[in-house]
């Protein structure tokens, strides 16, 4: 323990001495080795060039041997022609390729390919190309425009190798050389044979010579390749391969010269002597310091025994004690702040959820602990909702979402501070942020609304999304905070009617006296669905009027969702009457798009735009499909005839067949295919639409109106009208005078045989 200060001094100065002496020794040794490297570089270049020539000469000998027999050996050439004596020709060819392996020991294997019958001959083995193990390589070479060069190393396998794969390079020659229309000769040389040229004796741990193919891959990756210092790199003009030679990192035993050993020994000896001198000097200077250290250690031990056991000298003990005290203070402050934030958040949620009713005195006590104004008498609550929250969640990761929410909260606090408005802000579950305004003066209402409008504009301008804000009325006393929160929620629900990206005040939008019941819109829903299915041009106008009426109806969120869902289902039922061709297009494209828009239902305007885009797109596709059919003009003529002559009570398929000189069944078929509904259903729709127009625009008697739209008997007209519209003609006319009267349920569909 008494030597700790001495050891610290020792480890402070000795490394400096070692660093300087080691650097000087390194400079000396580096200068000597650099001169040796320059000499070895020249020798290495000559040796590497010689080895590359040996590899090229060995491969050129094989190339010349193949070319010689292809040009001069008639027995060998006869194999590529399908003659009568196949066995003799294949035997002679087999003898030739066996002689190659004897003449040149580098050749590992040879096989011949005859193109006329897809036969591969290797030694005495004759197999079809489809059963040959190297068929993939052979097909690849056949498809090439030019062959004849040595390939890069590849894996070659055949049964004669006893199931083993070998790494080879291959020479492929077309027969004849110009086009290869007769076949091909493939000669395989093991890469290990070429490596024996580069390493005739054994692998050296100092010098490394490696051969690389045209793609830069080593023939046999060396275990020191990554640490190899390349001295020479040459490229073969014959194979285009690259040979690299170099040396492994320097090792002292690689330089056994006696002069170098002597120099290194003297250097080490001088370093040892210098270290001993440093130790002696430090020890002499340590004696007075050691006495002071012992006295300080004795006092510290009496005051804090545990600290001295963990730390053996006084400077470290003081440092540890100060650090411990600072850390404890920081931890305590951090824990206190976290607890305070948690208590604020829990109180905020408990009050809003009704789990806790906070009285005025308790409220002031809690706020004193939160360092917030406690003399509040009036409160107002604002609920902020992120629009298109599903898109917001899909666009950002959780970390980014938390960062954006943190930024949005800070901006609101800064705006409130700049306008001298006291607020309490917390993020609620999901997409909602709550702001409790703590204002003592109801006159501040305009300032609060101005601040919320500024906040909404800031979010719209600086972020990729928008927010909608619901604001409740001013309440007095903390016991009424739950009421203020409920008012803000109800105001925010009106977003679905009024649209997103705005500030909605509870007092201005909540008026149940103007609320229209759901059944008031059933007739309009059925009407727009029928008009769309029939392809009437005014369906878009009626569609927009329906959504406009929904917005003016002051409906609740649940009622609006119910009506839009009813519209979606009614359109779906109407489209089910289309033919299978158009129905598939509806189910695959249009219906999923409308379902997605309904699933992300946030406002009526957004749903209107999405529905309208999907319906218009489908209408264009159907129109293009129908116009492309050859019978489209005939079907359109029939449709126009019905529109002009619907008053004729005798109109029927037989009548149309006589008018257009066409088979009635054919007219029924093309009308259904082109218009999407049966002839009789279309006729009923046209007559009912004209009857509805007359009922609302004239005071004619119902039997007269029935005659004007093609019905002889008023009873039949009443029955069809009620089946289609859901009420009698008289009830429909009275609806104009009594708009609040309940509408009977609409009966889905009608009989085809009732006209």
CATH label of the domain that carries residue 118: 3.30.450.20
Please indicate, yes or no, if residue 136 is contained in any of the structural domains: yes
Q: Is 663 exposed, middle or buried (0-12, 13-18, 19+ CB in 10 A)?
A: exposed
Mark which of 198, 220, 236 sits at the end of a domain: 198
Please indicate, yes or no, if residue 478 is contained in any of the structural domains: yes
What CA–CA distance (Å, rounded) separates 596 from 747? 28
Q: List the beta bridge partners of residue 384.
A: 433, 469
Q: For residue range 361-386, list pLDDT tens digits in order.
A: 676 676 666 555 545 667 888 999 98
- Identify the domain containing residue 639 by its residue range: 629-755
Please indicate, yes or no, if residue 156 is contained in any of the structural domains: yes
What CA–CA distance (Å, rounded) separates 608 from 600? 12
Paired tokens of 481: 């905070």
Residues near 512 by Cβ (< 8 Å), separated by ≥ 6?
Answer: 554
pLDDT of residue 458: 93
Please indicate, yes or no, if residue 579 is contained in any of the structural domains: no
Please indicate, yes or no, if residue 719 is contained in any of the structural domains: yes
Please indicate, yes or no, if residue 278 is contained in any of the structural domains: no
DSSP 647: T
Closest to 434 in 3D by CA, of 500, 376, 492: 492
User: Model-level pTM?
Assistant: 0.43
Ranges under pLDDT 50 in the chain: 1-2, 161, 202-203, 205-206, 252, 255, 305-310, 314-315, 318, 321, 374, 738-755
Handedness of CA 173, 175, 177, 178 (dihedral sign): negative
- How many structural domains compose the chain? 3
Residues near 658 by Cβ (< 8 Å), separated by ≥ 6?
Answer: none
Pairing of strands 242-247, 423-427: unpaired
What CA–CA distance (Å, rounded) separates 618 from 633? 21
* C-alpha pair distances (Å), 244 with each of 44, 239, 266, 747: 10, 15, 38, 90
Mark which of 510, 528, 544 sits at the end of a domain: 510
CATH label of the domain that carries residue 470: 3.30.70.270
What CA–CA distance (Å, rounded) separates 506 from 11? 76
**Residue 654 CB coordination number (10 Å):** 11
What CA–CA distance (Å, rounded) separates 174 from 185? 6
What CA–CA distance (Å, rounded) separates 182 from 447? 96
pLDDT of residue 743: 36
pLDDT of residue 316: 59
Shared domain check, 650 and 501: no
Closest to 62 in 3D by CA, of 99, 28, 100, 32: 100
Paired tokens of 472: 């409740």
What CA–CA distance (Å, rounded) separates 409 from 396? 17
Name the CA radius of gyration of the chain, rounded: 48
- Phi then psi for residue 341, to 5 deg, are -65, -40
Mark which of 168, 198, 228 sits at the end of a domain: 198
CATH label of the domain that carries residue 633: 1.10.10.60
Closest to 431 in 3D by CA, of 381, 481, 463, 468: 468
pLDDT of residue 741: 40
CB–CB of 688/703 below 8 Å?
Answer: no
- Phi then psi for residue 454, to 5 deg, are -60, -40
**Residue 151 CB coordination number (10 Å):** 19
Shared domain check, 635 and 500: no
Residues near 46 by Cβ (< 8 Å), separated by ≥ 6?
Answer: none
What CA–CA distance (Å, rounded) separates 525 from 541? 13
Please indicate, yes or no, if residue 205 is contained in any of the structural domains: no
Please indicate, yes or no, if residue 332 is contained in any of the structural domains: no
């Amino acid at each position: 323990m008494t030597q700790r200060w001495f050891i610290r001094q020792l480890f402070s100065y000795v490394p400096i001495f070692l660093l300087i002496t080691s650097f000087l020794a390194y400079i000396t040794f580096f200068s000597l080795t650099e001169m040796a490297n320059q000499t070895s570089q020249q020798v290495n270049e000559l040796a590497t060039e010689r080895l590359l020539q040996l590899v090229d000469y060995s491969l050129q000998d094989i190339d010349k041997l193949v070319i010689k027999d292809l040009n001069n050996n008639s027995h060998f050439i006869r194999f590529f022609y399908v003659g009568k004596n196949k066995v003799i020709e294949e035997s002679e060819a087999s003898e030739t390729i066996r002689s190659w392996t004897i003449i040149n020991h580098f050749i590992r294997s040879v096989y011949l390919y005859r193109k006329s019958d897809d036969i591969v001959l290797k030694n005495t083995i004759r197999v079809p190309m489809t059963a040959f193990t190297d068929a993939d390589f052979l097909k690849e070479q056949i498809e090439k425009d030019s062959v004849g060069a040595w390939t890069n190393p590849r894996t070659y396998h055949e049964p004669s190798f006893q199931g083993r794969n070998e790494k080879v390079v291959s020479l492929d020659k077309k027969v004849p050389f110009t086009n290869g229309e007769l076949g091909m000769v493939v000669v395989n040389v093991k890469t290990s044979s070429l490596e024996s040229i580069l390493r005739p004796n054994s692998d050296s741990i100092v010098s490394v010579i490696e051969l690389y193919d045209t793609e830069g891959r080593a023939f046999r990756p060396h275990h020191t390749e990554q640490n190899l210092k390349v001295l020479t790199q040459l490229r073969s003009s014959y194979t285009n391969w690259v040979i690299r030679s170099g040396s492994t990192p320097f090792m002292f035993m690689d330089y056994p010269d006696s002069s170098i050993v002597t120099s290194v020994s003297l250097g080490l000896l001088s370093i040892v002597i210098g270290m001993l001198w440093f130790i002696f000097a430090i020890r002499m200077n340590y004696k007075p310091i050691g006495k002071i250290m012992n006295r300080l250690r004795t006092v510290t031990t009496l005051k804090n025994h545990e600290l001295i056991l963990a730390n053996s000298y006084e400077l470290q003990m003081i440092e540890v004690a100060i650090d411990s005290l600072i850390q404890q203070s920081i931890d305590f402050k951090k824990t206190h702040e976290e607890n305070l934030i948690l208590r604020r958040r829990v109180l905020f949620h408990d009050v809003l959820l009704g789990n806790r009713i906070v009285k005025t005195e308790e409220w002031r006590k809690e706020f004193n602990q939160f360092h917030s104004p406690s003399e509040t008498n009036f409160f107002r609550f604002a609920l902020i909702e992120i629009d298109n929250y599903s898109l917001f969640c899909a666009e950002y990761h959780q970390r980014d979402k938390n960062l954006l929410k943190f930024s949005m909260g800070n901006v609101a606090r800064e705006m409130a501070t700049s306008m001298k408005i006291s607020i309490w802000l917390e993020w609620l579950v999901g997409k909602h942020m709550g702001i409790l305004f703590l204002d003592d003066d109801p006159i501040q209402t305009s300032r609060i609304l101005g601040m919320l409008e500024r906040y909404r504009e800031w979010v719209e301008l600086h972020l990729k999304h928008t927010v909608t804000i619901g604001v409740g009325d001013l309440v007095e006393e903390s016991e009424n905070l739950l009421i203020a929160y409920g008012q803000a929620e109800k105001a925010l629900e009106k977003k679905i009617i009024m649209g997103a990206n705005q500030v909605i005040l509870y007092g201005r939008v909540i008026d149940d006296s103007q609320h229209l019941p759901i059944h008031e819109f059933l007739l309009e829903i059925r009407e727009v669905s029928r008009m769309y299915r029939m392809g009437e041009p005014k369906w878009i106008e009626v569609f927009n009027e329906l959504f406009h009426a929904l917005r003016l109806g002051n409906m609740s969120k649940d009622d609006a969702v119910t009506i839009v869902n009813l519209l979606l289902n009614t359109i779906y039922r109407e489209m089910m009457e289309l033919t299978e061709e158009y129905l598939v297009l509806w189910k695959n494209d249009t219906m999923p798009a409308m379902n997605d828009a309904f699933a992300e239902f946030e406002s009526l305007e957004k749903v209107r735009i999405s529905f309208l885009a999907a319906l218009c797109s489908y209408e264009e596709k159907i129109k293009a499909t129908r116009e492309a059919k050859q019978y489209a003009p005939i079907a359109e003529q029939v449709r126009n005839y019905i529109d002009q002559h619907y008053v004729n009570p005798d109109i029927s398929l037989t009548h149309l067949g006589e008018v257009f000189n066409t088979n009635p069944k054919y007219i029924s078929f093309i009308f259904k295919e082109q218009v999407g509904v049966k002839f009789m259903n279309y006729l009923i729709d046209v007559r009912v639409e004209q009857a509805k127009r007359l009922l609302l625009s004239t005071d004619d008697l119902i039997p007269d109106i029935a005659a004007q739209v093609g019905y002889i008997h008023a009873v039949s007209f009443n029955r069809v009208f009620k089946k289609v519209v859901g009420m009698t003609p008289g009830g429909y006319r009275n609806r104009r005078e009594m708009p609040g009267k309940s509408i009977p349920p609409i009966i889905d569909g009608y009989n085809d045989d009732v006209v």
